[in-house]
Amino acid sequence: MITFFGALLFLIVGYFVYSKVVERIFGIDDDKPTPAYTQQDGMDYVPMPWWKGSLIQLLNIAGLGPIFGAIMGALYGPVAFIWIVVGCIFAGAVHDYFSGMLSLKHNGAQFPALVGKYLGKPAQSFINVISIILMMLVAAAFTAGPAQLIAQITPLNFTVALILVFAYFLLAALLPVNKIIGKIYPLFGAIIIFMAVAIAGALVFSGQSIPNLTFSNLHPGELPLWPLLMVTISCGAISGFHSTQSPIVARTLKKQSEGRKVFYGAMVGEGVITLIWAAAAMTFFSGTGGLQAAIAAGGPAGVVNEMSTSLLGTLGGILAILGVIILPITTGDTALRSSRMMLMDSLSKASKAFQGKKGVVISTLSVTIPTILLASIDYSFLWRYVGWSNQVVATVMLWTATMYLLKNQKFHWITSIPALFMTAVVTTYIFYAPEGLGLDYTLSLILGSLLWLAVAIWFVIQLWKHRDSDIQATVDHH
């Protein structure tokens, strides 16, 4: 119990203290008009209140990620609390802040455009493809589950439910951001917060003891902690998907100082939600063994339903159904919206077909059709690839932020240290994971370390380049 409340306190203090450090290093100017005004188009660039942007950002980045990911990550035991807290404060929230604020700084630019500016065109081309594929994978993975549940509790079959979900996706992607997303997302954002607070309250007063910190790996399946935990719990710690969502809200902010509350604050909010669900999962089922049995019986959705109904009664059952249906759908629709925006940004200069209102329709259909086909694939298969590609995107975003800080002679360690850490995660994971090369664990550690070393050498070279340019600039100034 002490560990849980200590972790909660660290997250709150992290927001009020470290977010201000990050904001000061980045540098803001409230006298400079934001893209919501300078690029206002009534479609994507629309000024909105910061509190509404915060709830939209929370729902965009959260969905079922901080619930399902937390449940799967809870299998490792209380050590997951460390990753949630440290990852959220020093990596995830920093990642989200820079992805949102760099977008705002560059007229609402999408993530691939930011990568191109600070890491070069080859990196932009690579991340453009990876990001759009990630968006479609997320939309597909977060569509099949809700459609299956709708088919179970209504007279509709799976195909009809899938069509209805994608019909909504099309509306949300085609209509101006303030018409659907701006109106109903704050309400849904409030639902996910209420769910977490209600579960936390019921858990504390249930008489069950939330396990305290142990550094042992308690996974019943004996899966290695490194680097699997860092991929299993992404939402709530650090998630590259967020960097694709932040530009949606960056195009609606009225002033730069709102970025700390919207981007850093929403990520800390997601960290709190993840912490609550992880604690509830490992407590309610009396340890990781019981949790694994519950997951095997009904999947993460079944675990959510059982905990919610048992701890909150009828209200809990209703919330569980709302959560499992609404939350992934509201993540899927903004995933498609983001992929549509990325496609337009990358192709609008080359073809008039991707410009204006016509471009919006063509781009939306271009990403929706393959997503519908992907939605028919097994959810667990899709999710494995979402996890890896997601953390690759997160790592690239952290390196993008690092190069921004280096080029502007700012304190880069707030992003370069998390970037180095996440590089180690993804380089090891790709060798070991089943969706990667599936190699022996020890061999994966060795090969991952060698690949990480190559990236670290590249980074040292960048440090020397910018050191030399800074010295030359100083000489020229004098």
Residues 6+ apart with CB under 8 A from 197: 276
Length of the chain: 478
Q: Which domains does the chain have, with CATH numbers?
A: 2-380 (1.20.1740.10)
Residue 153 sits at φ, ψ, to 5 deg, of -105, 0
Task: Give CA separation, 277 vs 14, 130, 195, 200, 267, in Å.
Answer: 20, 29, 10, 8, 15
Q: How confident is the model at residue 477 (pLDDT cuts 50, 70, 90)?
A: very low
**Among 448, 458, 386, CA closest to 422:** 448
Q: What are phi and psi of 320, to 5 degrees?
A: -60, -45
Q: Is the dihedral of CA 311, 316, 322, 325 positive or negative?
A: positive
What are 168's two structure tokens?
A: 């909504």
Grade residue 380 by pLDDT with cuts at 50, 70 and 90: low
Which of 239, 222, 225 has its CA nearest to residue 87?
A: 239
pLDDT at residue 474 tops 60: no
Is the pLDDT at 440 greater than 80? The verdict is yes
What pLDDT score does 273 carry?
92
- State phi, psi for 440 to the nearest 5 degrees: -55, 145
Range 164-174 average pLDDT: 78
pLDDT at residue 301 greater than cutoff 90: no
Tell me what pLDDT residue 249 has: 93
Residue 139 has pLDDT above 70, yes or no: yes
The answer to whether residue 225 scores a pLDDT higher than 90 is yes
Q: Given phi > 0 = left and psi -120 to 50 = alpha, else beta, which region is 49?
A: beta
pLDDT of residue 93: 97
Average pLDDT over residues 416-421: 98
The arithmetic mean of pLDDT across residues 78-94, rounded, is 97
State the Cα–Cα distance between residues 94 and 102, nearest whole angstrom.
Answer: 12
What pLDDT digit, counting tens, does each position of 177-208 carry?
A: 677 777 777 777 777 788 888 888 888 888 78
Q: How many CB atoms lie within 10 A of CB 157?
A: 11
Q: What is the pLDDT of residues 244-299, one digit of tens each?
A: 889 989 999 999 999 999 999 999 999 999 999 999 999 999 889 999 999 898 77
Taking only Cα atoms into account, the Rg of the chain, rounded to an integer number of angstroms, comes to 22
Closest Cα partner for 131 from 318, 391, 361, 328?
391
Nearest-angstrom CA–CA distance, 40 and 179: 15
Average pLDDT over all residues of the chain: 86
For residue 211, pLDDT over 60 is answered with yes
How would you classify residue 403: left for phi > 0, otherwise alpha for psi between -120 and 50, otherwise beta? alpha
Q: Is 398 exposed, middle or buried (CB count within 10 Å of its CB: 0-12, 13-18, 19+)?
A: buried
Q: Does the pLDDT value for residue 73 go beyond 70?
A: yes
pLDDT at 382: 67
Contact between 302 and 320 (Cβ < 8 Å): no
> Which amino acid, 164?
L
Task: Kindly tell me if the per-residue pLDDT of 392 is higher than 80.
Answer: yes
